[in-house]
Structure 1
Amino acid sequence: MKFTTLAAAMTLLAAPAFAESHMTATDTAMAAPTGDAAAGEEQFNKQCVACHVVQDPATDEVLAGRNAKVGPNLYGTMGHQAGAVEGYNFGDSLKAWGEAGGTLTEENFVAYVQDPTGFLREVLDDKRARGKMAYQVRDEAQAHDLFAFLSTFGGEDDAATDGGEAPAATN
């Protein structure tokens, strides 16, 4: 009886440490972004507006960018399933990753925008995978700032439930 009680107590004491070291991508997605949203807005206006817009689907109000439609509307996408914006024709590789549970956590977003094709090849373990986004954010800090900025637009209440695995960000 004493051994069982001791084993149970040790298990309970170890649980918080184990849980912390094995955070899921969902936990990461819900964590506060590490970048600077104001700097991200500046970068968005320099790097992203040619292809993307942030438009509230409920009101059709453009919150950031112009009416660009080359890339998907980025409203409410951070922390959610990748390749799932309705009305946009995503590439097969990004759709496959999203359907497999891939979400736009900060880690995934930063790695993706720095090397879209390389990221997809790694997470899908498929050397033929390709990203449709040709532009690459060269500076990792700017990618974190962009994530922080885009995280301010919608979607906070219904975070994704499965994050998929991401490779380490590349420079």
Structure 2
Amino acid sequence: MMDSFEFNKIAGGVLGTLTLTMMLGIAAHMIFAPGVPAKPGYDLPSAAAEQTSATPSAPAEPLPVLLAKADPVKGQAFAKACGACHNFEKGQGAKVGPPLWGVVGRQVASVAGFNYSDALKAKGGAWTMDDVNKFITNPKAYVAGTKMGFAGEGSPEKRAAIIAYLDKLSDNPEPLPKP
């Protein structure tokens, strides 16, 4: 059987180890204090930051010319990233963003039950191919105050392919503009 002196030595050793561990944790927290961000969350890279280049860019082709060369199949592949927030199938409800079935030609902010930003509600009109192009180039610049967190697509060719794909997602696709 263990006498009380042995028990006190074991208990003292355990308590001393726990106290030392706690003190080391406090000291480490004081030395390596984590920084608290001013605004919680993660800032998405802006489209302007991605377009920095030492070589001057060629003059942009007009949207009708780009659409004439656009491949909707490639557009579907490019739009896969949009599927994280949007549905593409007819009759599917909203996710984080409204469904994109029939978006080309649809009235802006018109999906029933979806909570659009006040800025998008105020825009009015219908989504033309040109409007969709401007919006996905830089959503926050085109509709200041939009809730859409996407930074934008910098490649005109990718945007044209996405628009050609979105146009196909309709019972009555809009005719592509003549180049």
- The answer, yes or no, to whether TM exceeds 0.5 is yes
1:17-166 equivalences under 5 Å are 33-34=67-68, 35-45=70-80, 47-57=81-91, 60=92, 69-98=95-124, 101=125, 103-120=126-143, 129-135=144-150, 136-156=152-172
Contact 1:50-1:68 at 8 Å conserved across structures: no
SS at match of 2:85: coil
> Relative to total residues, which structure has the larger strand share, 1 or 2?
1
Question: Equivalent pairs: percent with the same residue?
Answer: 29
Matches within 5 A, 1:1-16: none
The structure that has the greater radius of gyration is 2
For residues 123-167 of structure 1, the C-alpha deviation after alignment (integer angstroms, 9 at most, x for no partner) is xxxxxx31111111221211111111011112527x7xxxxxxxx
Matches of 2:128 and 2:77, distance apart in 1:
21
Distance 1:79 1:142 in 2: 20
One-letter code aligned to 1:104: W
Runs of 4+ in 1 over 3 A off after TM superposition: none
Q: 1:155 to 1:83 in 2, by over 3 A?
A: farther
**CA gap 1:137/1:68 in 2 versus in 1, 3 angstroms:** farther
Amino acid at match of 1:134: G
Q: State the TM-score, normalizing by the size of structure 2.
A: 0.54
Unaligned runs of 5+ in 2: 1-62, 175-179
1-structure distance, mates of 2:94, 2:75 = 18
Return closer, same or farther for 1:155/1:77 CA change in 2, 3 Å cut-off. farther
Distance 1:68 1:89 in 2: 10
- The number of residue pairs the alignment matches comes to 109
Residues 94, 114 of structure 2: 8 Å contact kept: no
